[in-house]
Amino acid sequence: MNKTVVRTVTNERTGESYKVVDHSSGLTLLLAPMKDFAMTSAMFGTDYGSIINCFKTIDDEDFITVPDGIAHYLEHKLFENEDSDVFELYAKTGADGNAMTGFENTIYLFNCTDNFADSLKILLDFVQKPFFTQENVDKERGIIAQEIRMTLDLPKRKCFFNLLNTMYRNHPVRVDIAGSEESIAMITPELLYKCYYAFYDLHNMALAVAGNFDVDEVISICDEYLKPCEDKNVEVKMPDEPLTVIKDKVEENFKVGMPVFNIGFKCVPCSESEMLRKETVAELMLTLLTGRMSPLAKKLRDEKLITGTLSHEVFDGKGFFSLILSGESQEPERVFELVCDAIEEAKINGFDEEDFELLKKSEFGATVRSMNSPESYAENMLAYHFIGEDAFSQERVLAEVTLSDVEAAVRDLFREDAVTLSIIR
């Protein structure tokens, strides 16, 4: 049996630190005690989300493909144990429990101010105790189908997935996290168990805790509740994806008071080791290009072209990397035209160095402030762990990025054959 090993990760700039525990069970614990905080947040996550639908383990001869939406379906079903309802158990401890499935990860969490130890035992117990029968799987199908139908009435979500479906030909990021009514109809108890034992392997998971708690107590509870298992060495396959988009524009009519739009720029994907730096550079570049103080934002205000602000997002993960702008406008094509003009201007003239330095300081401050909340701290530890980084990596990368890096990103990331405009009229 492996030994439990504890090490400390320290932020050299602020002196802040947290514990990383390589537990004997195979699970990684990320523990950040926060003195004088009343709340504690715990997140038990697996490196498994909706885009993972083709995989193999050491027990499989070949890759298997599972229906879209199965990761989300599995998250729903884990809350229903053979002998209890998890939310009823949390109600007794006063904890606020929840879960979320994303494109790449699934996370089970709770926040509490009292009875932390009892709540943690509930979390560790139910996530490790799957119970799937034909009856309870069939029962859940109707609930999730209703959830899928409800999302079809959300114009901004519809606009976003129309964009992804037009940008990506093969990558599963183009599919809604919950799947479709057709895909979930193919989900069986056997397939749920198959995915569970492949990805809910403790070697593929992590537990992040931040707030008012004792490190030794958490390790002791883990000693008692974690069930050591064999590392399944799961291998994930992603389809080949061309660098070009399917078409440059997609439109759909909907009941909206103001047209909604997304502009997507499809970029070359990168490895996990490159992702944080590329993401950070792209985020700084987009803020300088489209932020509230940019010449583009001023032009949009002067022409009264946009309601609210032009939002931006670096949308990236395993096998995909995109830059997405979104907003509401009566003239989305004109907004698109001005965005393209601003990109060409930035390619030629770059950005103001003083604006860049001010933005770096602002981003650094926002990164530090995000660690003042137990929930944000736990979320950051978990998210960075799953890409092979620590929770302070963002600050180190920010310190290293130069204006030349950001100006190079304008030239490298925007390509004429890889842009799509999605509009909901």
Helix (H) / strand (E) containing 368: helix 353-370
Give the mean model confidence (pLDDT) for residues 303-317: 95
Is residue 71 within 8 Å of residue 195, measured between CB atoms?
A: yes
* Residue partners of 233: CB distance under 8 A and separation at least 6: 57, 58
Mean pLDDT, the chain, rounded, equals 95
CA torsion through residues 241, 246, 249, 252, sign: negative
Name the DSSP letter for residue 4: P
Helix (H) / strand (E) containing 116: helix 116-127
pLDDT at 101: 97
pLDDT, tens only, 408-424? 999 999 998 999 999 99
Through-space distance between the first and last CA atoms of the chain, rounded to whole angstroms? 61
On the question of a common fold for 5-236 and 249-424, the answer reads yes
Is residue 18 within 8 Å of residue 378, measured between CB atoms?
A: no
Half-sphere exposure of 291 (CA within 13 A, CB side): 15
Name the DSSP letter for residue 60: -
Share above pLDDT 70 across residues of the chain, in percent, rounded to a whole number: 100
Q: What is the CA radius of gyration of the chain?
A: 23
- C-alpha to C-alpha distance for 329 and 162, rounded to whole angstroms: 18
pLDDT band at residue 166 under the 50/70/90 scheme: very high
CB atoms within 10 A of CB 142: 10
Q: Which of 205, 212, 208 is nearest to 228 (CA)?
A: 205
pLDDT band at residue 147 under the 50/70/90 scheme: very high
pLDDT band at residue 82 under the 50/70/90 scheme: confident
pLDDT, tens only, 343-376? 999 999 999 999 999 999 999 999 989 889 999 9
DSSP 145-202: HHHHHHHTT-HHHHHHHHHHHHH-SS-GGGS-TT--HHHHTT--HHHHHHHHHHHS-G
CB atoms within 10 A of CB 128: 18
pLDDT at 288: 98
Active-site residues: which are they? 75
Is residue 40 within 8 Å of residue 215, measured between CB atoms?
A: no
CATH topology of domain 249-424: Cytochrome Bc1 Complex; Chain A, domain 1 (3.30.830)
pLDDT, tens only, 241-300? 999 999 999 999 988 889 999 999 999 999 989 999 999 999 999 999 999 999 999 999
- C-alpha to C-alpha distance for 37 and 54, rounded to whole angstroms: 42
CB-based burial label for 255 (10 Å; 0-12, 13-18, 19+): exposed
pLDDT at 294: 95
- C-alpha to C-alpha distance for 81 and 131, rounded to whole angstroms: 6
> For the chain, what is the total number of helices (H) and then of strands (E)?
15, 15
Name the DSSP letter for residue 80: B
Strand order in the sheet with 54-56: 64-65, 54-56, 235-236
Residue spans per domain, the chain: 5-236, 249-424
Given a cut of 80, whether residue 1 has pLDDT beyond it is no
CATH (residue range 5-236) = 3.30.830.10
Pairwise pLDDT comparison (406 vs 272), residue with the higher score: 406
pLDDT at 214: 97
pLDDT at 152: 87
Q: What is the longest distance spanned by two Cα atoms in the chain?
A: 68
pLDDT, tens only, 3-57? 999 999 999 988 999 999 999 999 999 999 998 899 999 999 999 999 999 999 9
